[in-house]
Amino acid sequence: MAFETKATIASFGGKLYKLTHQSTETTTPMAVNLYLPPQALTPTPTKVPLLIYLSGLTCTPENCSEKGFFQHRASQLGLAILYPDTSPRGLNHPGETASWDFGAGAGFYIDATQEPWKNGYRMESYITRELPQTLFADATYGAALDASRVSITGHSMGGHGALTLYLKNPGMYKSVSAFAPIANPGKCPWGEKAFTGYLGGDREGWKRHDASELVKGWDKGVDLKALVDVGTGDNFYKQGQLLPENLEKAAAEAGVKGLTVRYQEGYDHSYYFMASFSDDHVNHAAKHLGLL
């Protein structure tokens, strides 16, 4: 359904729009923030490409819009950014708000198969189909966007989302990047908890939603166009929640080219880390979206 505009905020010469719309996938109202750079807002706008940013555990569309600093470089290059929410909200499934790493704020960008979560916890279909289709068809916001040029990025759980949705849908996105991604969810406590709850106990089936497994099926002849940053001071990395080495190893063993993983000395899991490297990730997307 059409977007309702809750707020319009000037940012780096462009505008950040706080939107909501009724989703048929989640069956709930969904909040989403959209940044349009100045190039999309002039009296004679050019169509701009889109970077989708998927957030981490506990986040709403606000966290990264406010403190990720993606808009700075995006405004210079002429790139729109979409910040979706991390789960449906208000379904009131039992236990939905009992923990911060499962249920509300923790949809893991998959379509749940287990009761009660299969009702509404359909973030994969929402992010890959319903949200972009609604946005590109929107009379107000879609006109400024080039639907044929989309890239994806994300942080932590959202890094898992970006990598897996990219690997599952060759051609849908022009490039992928991730900050501190949950790179092998089938083998870490966050992923095991979420996948057991949403998908059930069949670990073989989890592999369809795990970047370190999916990368093995990538076409070796096609550059992966993937940039990953991880801070060596990140406590979740130290606790084995992220496992980026497993992704690197799987890609190398499968002969997949084009994965760059950078270990940033001393950086933690926070937005101080992301803001320090967000220019690099916007440049990475821009290169593959024809802006650089």
Instruction: Give me the residues that bind ligand GSH (CB under 6 A), please.
Output: 56-59, 63, 100, 155-157, 269-270
Name the phi and psi angles at 120, rounded to 5.
100, -30
What's the closest the beta carbon of residue 180 comes to ligand GSH, in angstroms?
8
How far is residue 40's CA from residue 201's CA, in Å, rounded to a whole number? 46
What is the rounded CA–CA span in Å between residue 188 and residue 262?
20
- Token pair recorded at residue 135: 């946005």
Compute the least distance from the CB of residue 88 to ligand GSH, in Å: 18
Of the residues 55, 65, 156, 177, which is catalytic? 156
Smaller CB distance to ligand GSH: residue 227 or 274?
A: 274
Using CB atoms within 10 A of its CB, is residue 7 exposed (0-12), middle (13-18) or buried (19+)?
Answer: exposed
Residue nearest to ligand GSH (CB): 56
| Catalytic residue (choose from 75, 234, 284, 288) | 234
Q: How far is the CB of 219 from ligand GSH (least distance, A)?
A: 30
Single out the residue of 152, 120, 142, 121 nearest to residue 282, CA to CA: 152
For residue 281, indicate whether it is catalytic: no
**SS3 (DSSP) at 183:** coil
CB of 64 to ligand GSH, least distance (A): 8
Q: Which of 67/220 has CB closer to ligand GSH?
A: 67
Residue 257: exposed, middle, or buried by beta-carbon count in 10 A (0-12, 13-18, 19+)? middle
Please identify, using beta-carbon distances, which residue of 155 and 209 lies nearer to ligand GSH.
155
**How many C-alpha atoms does 203 have within 13 Å on its Cβ side?**
8
Q: How far, in whole angstroms, is CA 192 from its chain's centroid?
A: 20
The residue among 15 and 155 lying less far from ligand GSH, judged by its C-beta, is 155
Active site residue 269: yes
Q: Say which residue the tokens 């992010």 belong to.
A: 127
Check if the beta carbon of residue 96 is closer than 8 Å to that of residue 104: yes
**Which residues 6+ apart lie within 8 Å of 5 measured at CB?**
17, 18, 19, 140
Cis amide bond preceding 181, omega within 30: no
> What minimum distance in Å lies between the beta carbon of 259 and ligand GSH?
21
CB nearer to ligand GSH: pick between 180 and 247: 180
**156 has catalytic annotation:** yes
Residue 27: left if φ>0, alpha if ψ -120 to 50, beta else—which one? left
CB 242, min distance to ligand GSH, A: 10
Backbone angles phi, psi at 102, to 5 degrees: -155, 145
Nearer to ligand GSH, 63 or 278 (CB): 63
Query: Which residues have a catalytic role annotated?
Result: 156, 234, 269
